[in-house]
Structure 1
Amino acid sequence: MLVATSDALPCMPVVIPEPGPSAGEIEALQGMLAQSVRPVMIVGGTRWQTDSARAIEAFAVANNVPVVAAFRFHDIIDNHCPAYAGDAGVGMNSYMKQLLRDADLIIAVNIRFGEATTDGYALFDAPRMTAQLIHSHASDDEIGKIYTADLPLHAGPNRMAAALAGLSAGQPDGRADWYDAARVAYLQSLLPPAQPGDVDMGVITAHIQAQLPDDAIITHGAGNFAIWANKFMQFGRDQRLLGPQSGSMGFGVPAALAAKAHDSSRFVLCFAGDGDFQMNGTELGTALQAGLHPVILILNNSSYGTIRMHQEREYPARVSGTEIVNPDYVALAGAYGFHGERVTRTDDFAAAYARALAAPAGAIIEIVIDTEAIAPRSTISDLRAAAG
């Protein structure tokens, strides 16, 4: 069938209808929310439309409901919205765990209760949470799959958002304080501690944030380096995050190329680790072939950092198979027609980044990080001390 002709008719586009909640179900939701002092809404999943995200924001602000992003769905809700309270995902911040544990009502919109969003299924009792649960999803297979919902709603995200638009419920005393405290805790979480070594990624990440265009696209692969994009950056209404749900290393580079292929006018920035980059770094050949020009940051700590972190937790000082001897990334960038930079001090990054942004054919910036800085809020010394 590689060369034979066929008289088969072309397929037509498949339109999947989106289910929606009934008026009675929304009335029940309104009644449950009116009784809640500590509600939390968790949003995630796909097929969101822009107007739907804005409707969720307006509903949350009007009703003093903190909104949490499910694992790597940071960009659905404008992170600058006063209702946004952060993300529930891998490396979950302690304030987020407490927020979800203390909630008396969880409104889960289009999310799957997976391992990452539930902190390894440790946050909530199963099959019934202590909090009341309202769970809506486009697929009825997801509702009740892990946790039994007090109000199950077979509804897609856009019809659910439309039903919530303009909805207002009474607010018990204490709700406003709960709402404000969630936002304050989130804003405080954006401030990382000083990092060991000559390069401080906290300072660099803040510089990047300040320079990002309003419609920038951020991509990343899998590893501790991704925490910088996931925990210390904010995504505005038109900014997007493309990250792997399954922990697949090497996702960031091809995701960046796909984003550029989709819309070459938008700025695309990829966060990669050294081990992560080498999983799919040869996709730069695709970039050269197709004229795709993202900016790629390689956070080089000469280590498979996440694996090393787990080694240090379980087998302190017994390092095995996680050290990496890296190539010359500046030379590699040049071989593929990219501009290349190597940064070894925090103060050198701003100028290198400016040159990268000005490069017409894309750029790679290798950022040399001390292996001691194994994660933004943890060092190898910390891990060894904790292990005794």
Structure 2
Amino acid sequence: MTQTIRSGGRILVDQLVAQGCDRVFTVPGESFLAVLDALHDTPAIHTVVCRQEGGVAYMADADGKLTGRPGVAFVTRGPGATNASAGVHVAMQDSTPMIVFVGDLDRADRDREGFQEIDMAAFFAPVAKWAARIDDARRLPEYVARAYRVATAGRPGPVVLAIPEDMLRDEVETIDRPPIAPIAQPACAGAMGAMIDLLKDATNPVAIIGGADWSPAAAHYFASFAHRHGIPVAAAFRRQDAIANSCAVYAGNLGYGPNPKLQQRIREADLLLVVGARLGEATTDGYKLVTPDHPGQLLVHVHPDPNELGRVYRADLPICADMAEFSEMAADWRDPDIVRFSAGEEAHTEWLDWSDPKPRANPDGSAVKLDLGPCVAAMRDALPADTIICNGAGNFSGWWHRYWRYAAMPCQLAPTSGSMGYGLPAAVAAALRFPDRTVVCVAGDGDFLMNGQELATAAQYGADLLVILVDNGAYGTIRMHQERDYPDRISATALANPDFVRLAEAFGGWAERIETTADFAPALGRAMECTGIRLLHCVTDVEVISNASTISTLHGKG
């Protein structure tokens, strides 16, 4: 441990290095210049300068999802903090480890409604695991270590720390904290034995997986366990990379617009093994597919946070455990009395058929001019299996949720909270974290323009990414609900869009406009011959998308 006299800004950055942080995302603010000055002399941390704080927070969330370590963001007070709050909300609902540092006004000026003043702890408390203000530079090591612990322990989530400008300039003596050790709680043998006993008595078990604390190790071990016993495995909403979709018992994803055969399997299941998932509104189709009391079904709920067990769903067997530790114990458990089920392979066959695009037509029987199903199939043929797919919210995402086949994590970056504007910042973060992998942002026209300015960040840092921009000239999901609830009264959902090809070119990218299905695969081939920013502007008909039974339906803003 080091005890030296340093500025608060220097101490803060030293703590980030000690905890293993190697990248921060920021829009600079005068309220934390002392931190920026310290980062100038810290080559161990790559500072990524973004164009809007919403993009900052989304990138930090995506980086946390990709690494399992807290994504770190720095924003300034007032408008900077409120812009970033959308990303904090995503991290909370998605159980993503993240730490957001907010530069704040001087301590002596508190409670005077000073320039851009907000009570940060009060503002962020409802959407963060922990929100606090650091008033003493000597306590920076304590607060940062605690932030890392809170962000990663139990159900991961976001931490927000306000850092007053004058505190960061204080020269003080303090002791650095060592890196926090991860907490990995295995399932007890008794609980595992009880679960196995329930499995032996079951006739129609189904697993629902993915969520808090999920990891590549958990994916590997749980796939082994489920395959050995023939248990159908469904992915929770936007957790489709929870196991490789090539696994012979993968049954598809839940959420909006899932396979009706998978839904029926879950309704008929006598035993539900829910591992990592909270069983939120989207995964359970509004708490109807699996009800909180699930009469006639036994529920084994495995989660890393005891506060989630029994919070909404009655659990017949609650198990609090680290996901990787639990999955490894399950994979290693041997019991000769368990009969292998045939349902796993049957469910996988049903999913393969469901995820294979079929020819589609307009309501009048004419051919669809640009059919996105075959376009996703063309992507499957042309792109590597470990491609990282990033998307925000909107009906457009349903094509990839249904037809793309994900490898094991991390391969999917998509907000379970249904937040628009997420895809492009997430793709930038993924391209910087994994420069040797193919990264694709899938976006709608309204979705893209919420954070399209982050193409500048991609260009500045040489990020190599592909954007599939689906343009129907509308907020399509809202239009769909509007046409259902208020027919023939279209209001506030039409969009006038720019020339997206020229927009991408203005950022130094390569782009093409696509208007027919036949044009997509050749254009994709040309895009993959290029590097840097590439954009395929796919022009579609809003009526076709709204009336397509294959499209997922998102509620509210999206």
TM-score, length basis structure 2: 0.65
Q: Deviation of residue 373 (structure 1)?
A: 1.8
Partner of 1:188: 353
1:221 matched residue in structure 2? 392
How far did 1:241 drift?
Answer: 0.5
Alignment of 1:1-388 (within 5 A): 1=166, 2-169=168-335, 170-171=337-338, 175-176=341-342, 178-193=343-358, 194-196=360-362, 197-237=368-408, 240-375=411-546, 377-378=548-549
How much has 1:96 moved relative to structure 2? 2.2
**CA–CA distance in 1 between the matches of 2:346 and 2:212?**
29
Amino acid across the alignment from 1:62: R
Secondary structure of residue in 2 paired with 1:297: strand
Per-residue deviation, 1:111: 1.2
How large is the Cα RMSD of the aligned pairs?
Answer: 2.0
- Secondary structure, counterpart of 1:299 in structure 2: strand
Equivalent residue number for residue 386 of structure 1: none
Query: Contact between 1:225 and 1:375, CA under 8 Å: does it hold in 2?
Result: no
Shift of 1:171: 4.5
- Shift in CA distance, 239/349, structure 1 to aligned 2, threshold 3 Å: farther
- How many Å separate the matches in 2 of 1:45 and 1:239? 12
Distance change in 2, residues 1:354/1:91 (3 Å)? same
Q: SS in structure 1 opposite 2:437?
A: coil
**Cα distance between partner residues in 1 of 2:204 and 2:452:** 46
Unpaired segments ≥5 residues, structure 2: 1-165, 363-367, 554-558
* Deviation digits for residues 122-175 of structure 1 (CA, Å, limit 9, x no counterpart): 1123334421111111000111111111111111101111110133453459x3
For structure 1, which segment, 93-102 or 28-37, has the greater mean C-alpha deviation from structure 2 after superposition? Answer: 93-102
Question: How many residue pairs align between the two structures?
Answer: 379
Percent identity (aligned): 39
Query: Computing the radius of gyration over CA atoms, which structure comes out larger, 1 or 2?
Result: 2
Q: Quote the offset at 1:298 in angstroms.
A: 0.5
Q: Within 2, Cα distance between the matches of 1:146 and 1:100?
A: 18
The letter for the 2-side match of 1:314 is: D
1:253-300 superposed Cα distances (whole Å, 9 cap, x missing partner): 000000011121111011000010010001111112222121001001
- Tell whether the 8 Å contact from 1:300 to 1:369 is kept in structure 2 after alignment: yes
CA distance in 2: counterparts of 1:341 and 1:372, whole angstroms:
23
Residue 203 of structure 1: how far off its partner (Å): 0.9
Structure 1's 241 and 370: CA in aligned 2 closer, same or farther, altered over 3 A? Answer: same
Cα distance in 2 for residues equivalent to 1:312 and 1:131: 37
- Give the Cα separation in 1 of the matches to 2:434 and 2:220: 23
